[in-house]
Amino acid sequence: MNNELMTMTTDNEFLPKLSVVVPVYNGEADLPELISCLLAQTYPKQRVEYLLVDNNSSDRTSQILKTTAKDSSLVIHPLSENQIQSSYAARNTGIRASTGEILVFTDADCRPQPDWLASLIPPFKNLDVAIVAGEIVALPGNNLLEQYAERQETLSQKHTLAHKFCAYGQTANLAIRRQAFIKVGLFRPYLTSGGDADICWRILRENIGRLEFVQSALVQHRHRTTLKELESQWRRYGRSNRYLHELYGVELMREITLRECCYRLTRWLLKELPTDSIKALAHKATLVDLLNTPIGLFTARARYAGQREAQLPEKAQIIDWLEG
């Protein structure tokens, strides 16, 4: 390993060189806040490079990235992935250009907290750790759908870490040892969902190292605010189910039939809603409590629709490789 990749240890400090990779698609509105969060990181700036990859945006993303790279006190490398429209292909472009010992991933619409990197990296002191996942929490929101998602902790890593098939971390807050990519390959560039599970499972199934979770390594993420956005989110979860079923045999979600949906709505109208309404009058329940069942049915139906309609891309078997 060359000097650029070697871990710096001073007064028992563990400071490996980090490469933070962020795919960006039409991120003009998100980039200023993201950059502010990166500037606030407490991890030594000289030990971090940021690779921000424009994935064929149609807004001012590319121009903003180039300007930021010139003016920022951070080491920022503006990159471009215009051949494949996929966040995983964009991440691969960042990984190939990276020099860090640890690859760290987040997204343009995420807001890493100041101690994010400083909290996320210490588990790598143990050489048997290959993957570290941090927690994903909601940005403050007053919208009903945001409150529902926050109540359900929709974005939390606890759901993926408890996956029935195998644990994995979401790329909104994930770090992977460089050597793991060298051994199993990079992200599948033609996947549009489920690539975070795929890369973690390939690493874990090859016994390259274990996965650690650091709850204090926080990234904030904005919940969806409209039914259209919420439906799109859960349809994507459904597509991920289908893709991972095709690749690994993961169990598919069963359909919630129209008959079952009608039964649950009737039960909600006749039993749950009156009970929760009385609680609400006593300030012991909120609007989210009153509408929990119909929103849950809406998301479940959207997820199943995404799973039913999805078709694994023909090129999904392709794995890009990183030279060691």
Read off the pTM. 0.91
Tell whether the torsion through CA atoms of 155, 158, 162 and 168 is positive or negative.
positive
User: How far is residue 70's CA from residue 270's CA, in Å, rounded to a whole number?
Assistant: 62
Domains plus CATH for the chain?
8-224 (3.90.550.10), 246-315 (no CATH)
CA distance 293 to 273: 9
For 150-185, the pLDDT digits (tens) are: 888 999 999 999 999 999 999 999 999 999 999 999
**What is the full per-residue pLDDT of the chain (324 aa) written as tens digits?**
444 455 555 446 899 999 999 999 999 999 999 999 999 999 999 999 999 999 999 999 999 999 999 888 999 999 999 999 999 999 999 999 999 999 999 999 999 999 999 999 999 999 999 999 999 998 888 899 999 998 889 999 999 999 999 999 999 999 999 999 999 999 999 999 999 999 999 999 999 999 999 999 999 998 889 999 999 999 999 999 999 999 999 999 999 999 999 999 999 999 999 999 999 999 898 999 999 999 999 999 999 999 999 999 999 999 999 876
Q: Express each pLDDT in 264-276 by its tens digit.
A: 999 999 999 999 9
Distance between CA atoms of residues 250 and 67, nearest Å: 44
DSSP SS3 for 312: coil
- Is beta strand 48-54 parallel, antiparallel or unpaired with respect to 76-80? parallel
